[in-house]
Amino acid sequence: MRLVSQNENVASAAELLMQVGQGSRTAFQQLYNLQSSRLYAVALRITCRAPLASDAMHDAFLQVWRNAASFDPARGNAEAWLVTLVRYRALDIVRRRGREVSSEGMPERVDPEPDALSQLSQGREARALHACLSELAEDRRRLIVMAFVDGLSHSEVADRVQMPLGTVKSWIRRSLQALRTCLEGT
Amino acid sequence: MSDAPDELSVLAGEYVLGMLDENEAASVRRRAEIDPILARAIGDWESRFAPLAELVPPVAAPPMIWDRIERSLDAAQSPAPPTGYRPEPRGTRFWRATTAAALALAAVFAAIAYLPRNEAPPRLAALGVAGAPAPAFIAEARGDGYVTLTSVSPAPVPTGRDLELWLLPKGATTVTSLGLLLATGRRLAVPGLADGAQLLVSLEPQGGSPTGQPTGAVLYGGTLITR
């Protein structure tokens, strides 16, 4: 078996997270250095504002520090855990605040290209997700990707794609049902 | 009431995508704490959807984020008031305002009456202006490293401006941003707060101070003391 990580000289996020769980500040900083640009981008995309994205990162990383010992590598991968924490903090912030529509100074949001999904890494979850998203009609797949990446509510998605709210809700619902069936079969 | 597994899974999926509003999301979170099936469905969607984050091109995080995380950790790990705050030269306007805000300490005692009785004594501060009948916010720091800011009677925030919360640890000469503060309040992690630390609220351009230090008027302030 050959394990290839993107940078074999650097400890993986999972290894670092285990060390963080034992109280290593060095590992914590390495983990931050390894993951911060990826996670900050996720927070910025959802909050649309640098100070809010910074708040989300700060709060999420303190959670990482406090809860690293409870992370169970058998139950999920470290990158997914980190993304989840940062997304929830970012979503909390925009939900509480109400998202401002204007986002001056931000690069214009571009919907991910349909075949961008094929660039997803080749991890097991990524391959399964790619395969199952590919089974959805393109316009429905787009709504799911948009909702996740931009952290949009039903009505924000409806505004963005100029579709009735009821249609968006029912498409999302059916897409989730189809994805679940497909993913549980993979 | 019992939802079909399908309904539960859809609800969990909508929650993980981020499509629910604040109340719906809070209700799902509360329910997941006591409903292991919902909690499991949420966990499943979290790991299924996480790869989609790769679609967002990385953006270098501003260095101040790591500095702020480190300060929070240092504060959490040292029982003594944290040191290592780099003094920076400042204009006098901010400090004048800070001194005035510190006078609002008296309002703390009035504020205590509002608060529920609790087992561990919290640290409290009333953030207001001297002479005002009620504080703008009440800050309550508990042993879990979180501070809750409850909105009491803040003045309306002008359109296009934001409130930003600052920490001045006792004996420190420089404030640290704790992020933006909504008029409705906020709960945030600020480990290691000690008695005598001041919380200050300034009026900033929308999105917060561009410099990492207060640029607008300090509207409210208060000092944390153990109840």
Q: Is B87 a residue whose pLDDT tops 80?
A: no
How far is residue B131's CA from residue B89's CA, in Å, rounded to a whole number?
30
**By the CB < 8 Å criterion, does B186 face chain A?**
yes
Residue scoring higher pLDDT (B174 or A91): A91
Task: Map tokens 């004996």 to a residue.
Answer: B171
Q: Is B30 a residue whose pLDDT tops 70?
A: yes
CA dihedral B40, B42, B47, B49 (to 10 degrees): 150
CA nearest neighbour of B136 among B176, B101, B97, B179: B101
Determine which of A67, A85, A91 to mutate to test the interface with B (most B C-beta atoms within 10 Å): A91
pLDDT of the residue at B3 = 54
pLDDT of the residue at B119 = 44
Q: Do B48 and A183 touch, CB atoms closer than 8 A?
A: yes
* Percentage of chain B exceeding pLDDT 90: 22
Find all residues with CB under 8 Å of A86, minimum gap 6, and list them: A39, A42, A43, A56, A57, A60
Q: Is A182 a residue whose pLDDT tops 80?
A: yes
Q: Is A2 a residue whose pLDDT tops 90?
A: no
Q: What is the pLDDT of residues B103-140, one digit of tens each?
A: 443 344 444 444 444 445 677 888 877 666 677 888 88
Average pLDDT over residues A52-58: 95
pLDDT band at B46 (very low <50, low <70, confident <90, very high): very high
Q: Are strands B176-181 and B161-168 parallel, antiparallel or unpaired?
A: antiparallel
pLDDT band at B90 (very low <50, low <70, confident <90, very high): very low
Q: What is the pLDDT of residues B140-155, one digit of tens each?
A: 887 777 888 877 778 8
pLDDT of the residue at B117 = 41
CATH architecture of the domain A116-186 equals: Orthogonal Bundle (1.10)
CATH architecture of the domain A11-99 equals: Orthogonal Bundle (1.10)
Residues 58-117 of B with CB under 8 A from A: 58-62, 64-66, 68-69, 72-73
pLDDT of the residue at A177 = 96
* Percentage of chain A exceeding pLDDT 70: 80
* Contact yes or no for A54 and B52 at CB 8 A: no
DSSP summary character for residue B64: H
Q: Is A15 a residue whose pLDDT tops 80?
A: yes
Residue scoring higher pLDDT (A127 or A177): A177
**Which pair of structure tokens corresponds to residue B105?**
């300490």
Q: Which residues of B touch A136 (CB under 8 A)?
A: none
pLDDT of the residue at B84 = 34
Q: What is the pLDDT of residues A79-109, one digit of tens each?
A: 999 999 999 999 999 988 766 554 444 444 5
Q: Do A52 and A94 touch, CB atoms closer than 8 A?
A: yes
* Contact yes or no for A112 and B55 at CB 8 A: yes
Element (H, E) at A178: helix A165-185
Length of chain A: 186
List strands edge to edge, sheet with B146-151: B185-189, B146-151, B137-141, B123-127, B225-226
Q: Is B80 a residue whose pLDDT tops 70?
A: no
Task: Map tokens 């990385």 to a residue.
Answer: B58
* Contact yes or no for B14 and A176 at CB 8 A: yes
Q: Is A74 a residue whose pLDDT tops 80?
A: no
How far is residue B188's CA from residue B179's CA, in Å, rounded to a whole number?
9
* Contact yes or no for A36 and B49 at CB 8 A: no
Task: Map tokens 């214009």 to a residue.
Answer: A108
How far is residue B82's CA from residue B23's CA, in Å, rounded to a whole number?
37
**By the CB < 8 Å criterion, does B183 face chain A?**
no
Q: Do A173 and A136 touch, CB atoms closer than 8 A?
A: no
* Contact yes or no for A52 and B180 at CB 8 A: yes
Q: Do A13 and A82 touch, CB atoms closer than 8 A?
A: yes
Q: Is B64 a residue whose pLDDT tops 90?
A: yes
pLDDT band at A113 (very low <50, low <70, confident <90, very high): low
* Contact yes or no for A96 and B186 at CB 8 A: yes
Residue scoring higher pLDDT (B90 or B212): B212
Tell me, letter by letter, the H, E, C secondary structure of B110-128: HHHCCCCCCCCCCEEEEEE
CA–CA distances in Å: residue B53 to residues B187, B220, B222: 26, 39, 40
**Which pair of structure tokens corresponds to residue B86?**
């780099």
Find all residues with CB under 8 Å of A73, minimum gap 6, and list them: A14, A17, A18
Q: Are strands B123-127 and B137-141 parallel, antiparallel or unpaired?
A: antiparallel
For residue B57, the tally of other CB atoms under 10 A from its CB is: 12
Distance (Å) from the alpha carbon of A171 to chain B's nearest alpha carbon: 11
The ipTM, to two decimals, is: 0.87
Q: Which residues of A touch B53 (CB under 8 A)?
A: 38, 42, 83, 87, 148-149
CA nearest neighbour of B54 among A112, A137, A1, A131: A112
Q: What is the pLDDT of residues B159-171, one digit of tens each?
A: 778 888 988 888 7
**By the CB < 8 Å criterion, does A78 face chain B?**
no
* Percentage of chain B exceeding pLDDT 70: 76
pLDDT of the residue at A35 = 96
CA nearest neighbour of A128 among B95, B47, B4, B105: B47
